[in-house]
Amino acid sequence: MWKWLNRANPEPSFGEFRRKFDQMLGHGRHVFDLASNAILGGADPDVIRDDLFRTDKKINKLERLIRREIVVHATVHGTSQLPSCLVMMSIVKDAERVGDYAKNMFDIAAQTAKKRDDIHADLVKLKAAVSALLAEARDLYGSQEEAGARDFCLRADKLTDHCDQQVNRMVGTEPGTSQPALSALAYRYHKRVMAHLQNIVTSIFMPVDQLDYFDEDKASRDS
Amino acid sequence: MYLLCAVKKWGRVLFLLGLLVVFLVAIKLMGSSFKLLGEDTAESLFRGISNPFAGLAVGILATVLVQSSSVTTSAVVGMVSGGMPVGVAVPVIMGANIGTSVTNTLVSMGHITSGAEFRRAFAGATMHDFFNLMAVAILLPIEMLTGVLQKSATWLTGVIGFGGVAYKSPIKAFIGTLAKGPIRLVTDVLDLSGWAASAVLLALALALIIISLVAITKTMRALMAGRLERALNNVLGKSGLLGMGVGVVITIAVQSSSITTSLLVPLIGAGILAIEVAFPITLGANIGTTITAMLAALASDKSGGLTIALVHLLFNLTGIGLLYPVTRIRRIPVQLAEALAWRAQKNKLWILVYIGGVFVLIPLLGILLFRS
């Protein structure tokens, strides 16, 4: 009876959401790496297509599962954990969007020339940094470490600024690459992936009403 | 921390056991309150609802008023123990089944401002009503003609152990000893007798039944929240007997069919639980809720207490046996609920007419027209 009553504890359900969310982030990094390898690493898109789309479906399935379970959780437990439920509802969307942007990246992979210019080298460095951020976001969400989350956002800010500068360069007179439109899109997609990771990580230290609005706080972080 | 959690958990378990004792004492007091009147007076009192339609109406209205079929069925077990004939109690029990379905219908009103969500939630709630109404419409006339439920329950009571064999239950003896306190307080200390003593004891018994059942339900819900959540997550997207089993288990765990059915309403409204999947869970709740009357029968002096509790179980099992197995018949309550929900979404007056009519006006008219 003791074991039975212990299993009746309401707490584990949020741990279960976090475990599934962690899986989503893991899958997110995998699809991002697959897609960026297709663009930058010269991997054959046809070879990685199945893996990428299968993993993205897993992400989408986990998102729907977490959403359903959050509704059940809120129905059973009432409003006591409502803010946490709302945060989770918001950040699963961000995790799902990482998969979507990876697919967008994959879509332009076939058109991208594998020419090794300066922009290509810069994108390779950016890809490595974003992939590391994906892993770090997963760790930070697991540990809920606030100082690390703030530091993550500062570093992500710098990288997104760099993406903006590069996009501005692509639309200028000296794009520095033979495929400025595709390169601009690649920077744009990397930037969006980082933005969604920042949404996830800021949930560690920002109140629920300010989720997704960390950009507005950027000036104060920079100063 | 671990020690604190352990103390808290075992504290809740002991609190639950205490509440169960209070509940059983209340049932005992309920029976005793009628015995204080004397057999003739009690009999003439119960004769007022000897017409089955009057009994049905009383069951519906009493359950709507206290928002709990468990209170009504437990009180009926107590009354049977105090002299109410089982035959008179059967329609009251059926009425309690109908009355209890108003709670989740009221819960669905929380979605009234959201069009499609309300339609789904209202249909999800009222399918329980329609099923119970159909079950009564079929089984009450059959029972009036044949008394099959009562006869079967009486036979089962005999099989279980009440059939003429004198069995001294230790639980019953313990509850009987505890109940002597309040009875002496009323008859010796307050020096009341006859109607006055009966009325005071009856009021005390009813208050204790309501308080103990509300507290049991709340404590069980707090204790079982994690399990409830897991059970509901497991049943999403599945259907049939598994859902029915989940409904039975959840309702036994929280001691309230209203909690089970009311938990389903927001999930149906949100669209994450299909109405067809929720339907068997609702029927399972009908079976699970019969456990309360069984518990109440533990405090009953006469075999009638257990018999009426078994009637409640047999009625629900038979209803499911008649209305669930054939797909076309099974769809009827759901289709009726969906048709009503479409109308209610378009014109909210339907809600008022439906709830006011089925749960208040018709039972009131039934009492006025059919009471003896």
Residue B3 included in any domain? no
- The pLDDT of B253-271, averaged and rounded, is 88
Residue of B233, B236, B268 to mutate, interface with A, max A Cβ within 10 Å: B233
> Alpha carbon A91 to chain centroid distance?
9
Ramachandran area for residue B51 (φ above 0: left; ψ -120 to 50: alpha; else beta): beta
Report the complex ipTM.
0.74
Task: Give the one of B226, B232, B263 whose C-beta lies nearest to A9's C-beta.
Answer: B226
- Range of the structural domain that residue A101 is part of: 12-222
Instruction: Provide the 3-class DSSP secondary structure of residue B104.
Output: helix
Q: In the A/B pair of chains, how many CB contacts fall below 8 A?
A: 49
pLDDT grade for A223, boundaries at 50, 70 and 90: very low
Residue B336 included in any domain? yes
pLDDT at site A219: 56
Task: Give the one of B9, B229, B236 whose C-beta lies nearest to A76's C-beta.
Answer: B229
CA-nearest residue to A14 within chain B is: B226
Token duo for residue A40: 């930058």
Residue B61 included in any domain? yes
Q: How far is CA B225 from CA A3, A91, A143, B269, in A?
A: 15, 25, 26, 21
**CATH number assigned to the domain comprising residue A51:** 1.20.58.220
Token duo for residue A3: 């074991």
Token duo for residue A49: 């297509």
CB < 8 Å to A10, chain B:
225-226, 229
CA separation for the pair B219, B254 (Å, rounded)? 8
CA-nearest residue to B5 within chain A is: A6
Residue B162 included in any domain? yes
Residue B1 included in any domain? no
Q: How many domains does chain B have?
A: 1
Quick check: B226 and A13 CB within 8 A? yes
Residue B218, number of CB atoms within 10 A of its CB: 15
Task: Give the one of A9, A11, A72 whose C-beta lies nearest to B233's C-beta.
Answer: A72
CB of B329 within 8 A of CB of B323?
Answer: yes
Residue-wise pLDDT tens digits, B357-366: 999 999 899 8
Residue A6 included in any domain? no
Residue B104 included in any domain? yes
Residue A179 included in any domain? yes
pLDDT at site A2: 44
CA-nearest residue to B232 within chain A is: A72
Residue of A61, A68, A80 to mutate, interface with B, max B Cβ within 10 Å: A68
Query: Is the pLDDT score of B302 beyond 80?
Result: no
Residue-wise pLDDT tens digits, B108-151: 998 888 888 899 999 999 999 999 999 999 999 999 999 999 99
Q: Which of B235-239, B254-258, B325-329 has the highest mean pLDDT?
A: B325-329
Quick check: A12 and B226 CB within 8 A? yes
Q: Looking at the complex, report in whole angstroms how far the Cα of residue A13 sits from the nearest Cα belonging to chain B.
A: 7
DSSP state of A41: I
Residue A185 included in any domain? yes
Of B328, B236, B247, B323, residue with least CA distance to B275: B236
Instruction: Provide the 3-class DSSP secondary structure of residue B300.
Output: coil
CA separation for the pair A129, A116 (Å, rounded)? 19
Residue B360 included in any domain? yes
Task: Give the one of B227, B236, B270 whose C-beta lies nearest to A7's C-beta.
Answer: B227
Residue A1 included in any domain? no
- Provide the mean pLDDT of chain B: 87
Residue A44 included in any domain? yes
- Range of the structural domain that residue B350 is part of: 9-370
Residue A5 included in any domain? no
Query: Is the pLDDT score of B163 beyond 70?
Result: no
Q: How many domains does chain A have?
A: 1
pLDDT at site A139: 93
Residue B265 included in any domain? yes
**Which residue numbers of A have CB closer than 8 Å to B's CBs?**
1, 5-13, 67-69, 71-73, 75-77
- Provide the mean pLDDT of chain A: 85
CB < 8 Å to B277, chain A:
none
